[in-house]
Amino acid sequence: MVVVERRVYERIRERLGRLYGEAALPRLMDRLQLIIGRYGVGADCLPEAAGCAPWDQTDAVLISYGDMVCASNEAPLATLRRFLEQHVGDAISSLHLLPLFPYSSDDGFAVIDYRQVDPALGDWPDVDALADDYRLMLDLVINHVSSQSRWFRAYTNGMAPERHYFIEVDPKADLSAVVRPRTSALLRSVQTPYGERHVWATFGQDQIDVDFSNPDVLFEYLDILLFYVHHGAQIIRLDAIAYLWKQLGTACIHLPQTHEIVKLLRDLLNLVAPRVLVMTETNVPHAENISYFGKGDEAHLVYQFSLPPLLLHAMHSGNGRYLTEWAAALAPPPPGCTYFNFTASHDGIGVRPLEGLLPQSQLDALVAAMEERGGLVSRRSNPDGSATPYELNITYFDAVGTPGDQEVSIRRFLCAQTIALSLQGIPGIYFNSLLGASNNLRGAEQSGRARTINRQKWALPELEVMLGEESSHQARQLLPEYLRRLRIRRAQPAFHPDGPQRVLELPAGLFGVRRVAPDNSQSLWMVANLTGAPVQLGFGRLVRRPRELSWTELIGGWHQSGEQLPSRFELEPYQVAWLVGH
């Protein structure tokens, strides 16, 4: 039985009125009631009840394509499940399955059919089985569809209602204010029964933007959203949400109507599936990114897009100044919200989130360093016709590593990953990072897409050899240690996403934070050495009277009573310490 919370229902009504006008409300509210009752979803607690705890320190998300691991005569989704059972287990709590639908380009993000699993991956029962094992995150690719989708084919044939689903623009219109994430043409020419038309295509000619000023489009996506929840999705990632609403004469990014729709999606989930979380994907400067928390009424989770490049800069420079300044200035997320901390994903390392945080000279040096390590650079168009770096395409292992020195590369990589695991929020780990994957240069060359460099996929026998006792691949050392740290982390109340965070004032070669459990049952200090030389630090830099406590270092496994505590401790190059004072 669906428990309808009247306050939330009225908020949805108000939002629909602001978006589409009061006159349309009776029809839209009737449609809403039909959608609420269509799927087998319902509330098992009141939407805004305090007892619905959405997360804790055991949460960690693995980001993976459905065919990241393949085996003969088995659906890749089933093979992925088998690999996770055998090699990962409970070290992660959640699985983000990147788009698993039939698609025409962009490795899944040009969706042809939102309701069908790509037969090359498996079928919905395979997805349901993974949802039985892990908290499942699915993508709602909401800004655009494939040019091969049924919707767009119907549009080109002049069929209703789809002929009103896309944004037609006069090619002579002034579009100079539009913020672009790509260098491709913004408009695509297409022939229709009504003659040539030009439609909006933010991300490329195969990805056609849909028109959310038409409420029929909104309701298509509301229906798809609940279809995913019906299949076990507990986190919904809103892909490229920042560009959703278009209005000529504006930047067409972060418009008020876009924020209103995010709030509406959250309200709908509060009505029918209050334990389902919303996460926004907005690869933009930090202040713009966190605006999607709203006042605690938009996204539950927001990517920390500034973290990957700032952490990369700190590891390369051996100087935590800019990382520290950014982390110290972070405002606590609103109640019921938290950060999604990651270092790598299926995309590149975005550099727009560095705007205002890192001097241009430092960014230029970082870009050059990535190119020296075999990385590629994707660029975006500016209003003046110039192109500037948009993202660095490189695996995070190769990005932070030392070419030719596997041992040092592993230490540097684990240092970066452990820092990310320590920050307030929920950690996200990309499958390729879990294995310390190197640049897939051959794949990038064959596909002609820079992002393929970080989208390596494996045959299961190949992975078994990589992880075998005789293997010299970095994954053999890296995976067990990564999983060990994840399991240590999940047992620490101080790493609860709601636990406060204080950034430590440390020398430039170090970075550290203090985490405290929400119930004050544990305090934990993370200190990381960003340099290639041993560094000593006094316990007095962490707490005023350290000898009044007994200390445990969780990663190294040592324990020291307060009476015997030395005044200083040493961190080896790229070592991270998790210190708990009892």
For the stretch 396-432, pLDDT in tens is 999 999 999 999 999 999 999 999 999 999 999 999 9
Domain boundary among 495, 524, 541: 495
453: DSSP letter: G
- Provide the domain count of the chain: 3
Nearest to 564 by CA among 576, 582, 574, 549: 549
User: For position 53, what pLDDT does the model report?
Assistant: 59
- Quick check: bond before 193 cis, omega within 30? no
pLDDT tens per residue, range 331-377: 999 999 999 999 999 999 999 999 999 999 999 999 999 999 999 99
Q: Is residue 517 part of a domain?
A: yes
Nearest to 146 by CA among 206, 211, 218: 206
- Rounded CA-CA distance 284/179 in Å is 11
User: For position 423, what pLDDT does the model report?
Assistant: 98
Q: Is residue 10 part of a domain?
A: no
- Rounded CA-CA distance 232/278 in Å is 14
Which parts of 134-255 fold into alpha helices (H)? 150-156, 215-230
User: For position 289, what pLDDT does the model report?
Assistant: 95
137 and 148 co-located in one domain: no
Q: Are 526 and 419 in contact (CB under 8 A)?
A: yes
- Rounded CA-CA distance 55/46 in Å is 17
- The CATH number that applies at residue 195 is 3.90.400.10
- The CATH number that applies at residue 455 is 3.20.20.80
511 and 477 co-located in one domain: no
357 and 230 co-located in one domain: yes
418 and 564 co-located in one domain: no
User: What H or E segment, with its residue span, contains residue 433?
Assistant: helix 431-434
Q: Are 415 and 528 in contact (CB under 8 A)?
A: yes
Q: Are 252 and 246 in contact (CB under 8 A)?
A: yes
User: For position 43, what pLDDT does the model report?
Assistant: 41
123 is catalytic: no
Q: Is residue 65 part of a domain?
A: yes
Q: Is residue 33 part of a domain?
A: no
124 and 156 co-located in one domain: no
SS (H, E, C) 365-403: HHHHHHHHCCCEEEEEECCCCCEEEEEEECCHHHHHCCC
Token pair recorded at residue 369:
């360093």
Domain boundary among 495, 528, 561: 495
379 and 437 co-located in one domain: yes
409 and 488 co-located in one domain: yes
Amino acid at the residue 551 = W
| pTM given for the model | 0.95
Q: Is residue 15 part of a domain?
A: no
**How far, rounded to the nearest angstrom, does the alpha carbon of residue 73 sit from its chain's CA centroid?**
32
245 and 121 co-located in one domain: yes
Q: Within 13 Å, how many C-alpha atoms sit on residue 9's CB side?
A: 12
Residue located via tokens 């539950």: 300
82 and 114 co-located in one domain: yes
- Rounded CA-CA distance 78/232 in Å is 16
- List all residues 6 or more positions away from 241 whose beta carbon is below 8 Å from its beta carbon: 142, 143, 258, 262, 280, 281, 282, 292
Q: Is residue 394 part of a domain?
A: yes
Domain boundary among 209, 241, 261: 209
228 and 346 co-located in one domain: yes
User: For position 382, what pLDDT does the model report?
Assistant: 81
Residue located via tokens 């006159």: 23
Q: Are 66 and 100 in contact (CB under 8 A)?
A: yes
User: What H or E segment, with its residue span, contains residue 131?
Assistant: helix 124-133
- Rounded CA-CA distance 168/241 in Å is 20
Q: Is residue 510 part of a domain?
A: yes
Q: Is 318 strand, coil or helix? A: coil
Which parts of 474-540 fold into alpha helices (H)? 474-490
pLDDT tens per residue, range 45-75: 333 433 455 899 999 999 999 999 999 999 9
Residue located via tokens 């050059």: 368
Mean pLDDT of residues grouped by 10 in the chain (582 residues)?
A: 72 97 96 83 42 82 98 97 97 98 96 98 98 97 98 98 98 95 94 97 97 98 96 96 97 98 96 94 94 97 97 98 98 96 96 94 96 93 83 97 97 98 98 97 93 96 96 97 98 98 96 98 98 95 89 94 88 98 88
177 and 260 co-located in one domain: no
User: What H or E segment, with its residue span, contains residue 416?
Assistant: helix 406-422
- Rounded CA-CA distance 303/313 in Å is 18
Q: Are 176 and 213 in contact (CB under 8 A)?
A: no
Q: Any bridge partners for residue 378, and if so which?
A: 391
- Rounded CA-CA distance 502/505 in Å is 10
84 and 225 co-located in one domain: yes
- Rounded CA-CA distance 48/85 in Å is 35
User: For position 385, what pLDDT does the model report?
Assistant: 77
Q: Is residue 389 part of a domain?
A: yes
Q: Is 455 strand, coil or helix? A: coil
- Rounded CA-CA distance 242/210 in Å is 13
Q: Is 137 strand, coil or helix? A: strand
Q: Which listed residue (67, 126, 209, 239) is catalytic? A: 239
- Rounded CA-CA distance 271/44 in Å is 11
The parent domain of residue 544 ranges over 501-581
Q: Are 393 and 376 in contact (CB under 8 A)?
A: yes
